[in-house]
Amino acid sequence: MAIVVEVDNGSGFCFGVTNAIQKAEELLTRGESLYCLGEIVHNSEEVNRLESKGLKTVDYSNMSSLKGKQLLVRAHGEPPETYQLASESGVNIVDATCPIVTKLQQRVASAYSEMQLVGGQVVIFGKKSHPEVVGLIGNANGAAIIIEKVEEVAMLDCSKPTVLFSQTTMDGEDYVALGEAIKQTMDTLIPNGSSQLKVVNSVCGSVSNRKPKLAEFSSRHDMVVFVAGKKSSNGKVLYQVCKDANPNTIFMESAAEIEESMFEGINSVGVCGATSTPLWLMELVAEKIRAI
């Protein structure tokens, strides 16, 4: 009997990634030369597809050689120094920063200025090397403190006024737990010390809103195939949601990883993915499973 395969209709690119890829494709379709600062999305299959259309992925070291060229800033955003360097190098910026990230950068910059006046600090919950976090740090004049997990609260000076932000694709529950841990530490040090803490709700709804729907989707199937790039931060979060709802969940980057033996005794499979996973890739995975 053929395996019944369902592709989750709520998975796929978020608005910010869709916007960046549409901008790139519009320029490439017109035959224009386009460079992208870093991988346009944390999905190697989609990067390969766009590079086959002419997109060239570069890094900061290439900036000086791109005079007069078009350089795409991806949805993750960039620090102010990138725009300054592009201007000095005569590079034309095509800005595809997600509007949600742009607003967050502005809020971080404002909070940094505010904290400078009161001897406070800006703290960001996120991955130190993630491009979005690099951009946020730049908007705090390089002075933001990065926390990757709750256990790192001990490294903070919790006697200071603090504004807490999150990378948009971090887990919302972990962010709440971090805020509570900082509050408790502040109150231990100073009576009502947590009144000095401002927690900004900056986890993107495109990730958090998908969690309950993904859990329900995953629970309906014998097996779940979660498709995402290994570099995807939201991919790690959403994969764990699926795994918690259905322990028979596997992670893969491409259809090439599918083996017939994986699906022995399986009647139904759910295929889903991250906000950086293209729908065409999930459909390709589904088709290969159906062909078993």
Q: Does the annotation list 76 as a binding residue?
A: yes
- Distance CA(155)–CA(138), nearest Å, equals 21
Q: Does the annotation place 221 within a ligand binding site? A: no
**Which token pair is 247?**
């322990």
158 is in an annotated binding site: no
Catalytic residue among 45, 46, 132, 253: 132
DSSP at 156: S
Give the C-alpha separation, 194 to 185, whole Å.
8
Say if residue 234 carries a ligand binding annotation: yes
Angle at 50 between CA 96 and CA 53, to 5 degrees: 120
Active site residue 132: yes
Question: What is the phi/psi pair of residue 259, to 5°?
Answer: -130, 140
- Annotated binding residue at 65? no
Contact 163, 194 (CB under 8 A): no
42: annotated binding-site residue?
yes
Q: Are 19 and 75 in contact (CB under 8 A)?
A: yes
**Binding site feature residues for dimethylallyl diphosphate:** 42, 76, 130, 232-234, 276
**Binding site feature residues for isopentenyl diphosphate:** 42, 76, 130, 232-234, 276
Active site residues: 132
**Binding site feature residues:** 14, 42, 76, 98, 130, 168, 204, 232-234, 276
**Binding site feature residues for [4Fe-4S] cluster:** 14, 98, 204
